[in-house]
Amino acid sequence: MLVCSCNAVFEGAVRKAVSGGAACVDEVSTMCGAGTDCGSCIDHIEEIIDEVNTEVRVSIQAA
Q: Specify the CATH class of 2-62 in words.
A: mainly alpha
Task: Report the predicted TM-score, pTM, of the whole model to 2 decimal places.
Answer: 0.91
Instruction: Please tell me the predicted confidence (pLDDT) of residue 15.
Output: 98
DSSP states along 5-60: TTTTEEHHHHHHHHHTT--SHHHHHHHH-TTSSS-TTHHHHHHHHHHHHHHHHHHH
- Count of alpha carbons within 13 Å of 45, Cβ hemisphere only? 28
Consecutive sets of 10 residues in the chain, 63 residues long: mean pLDDT of each? 98 98 98 98 98 84 76
Q: Please give the single-letter amino acid code of residue 61.
A: Q
Instruction: Please tell me the predicted confidence (pLDDT) of residue 58.
Output: 78
Sequence spans of domains, the chain: 2-62
Three-class secondary structure of residue 2 per DSSP: strand
Instruction: Please tell me the predicted confidence (pLDDT) of residue 45.
Output: 99
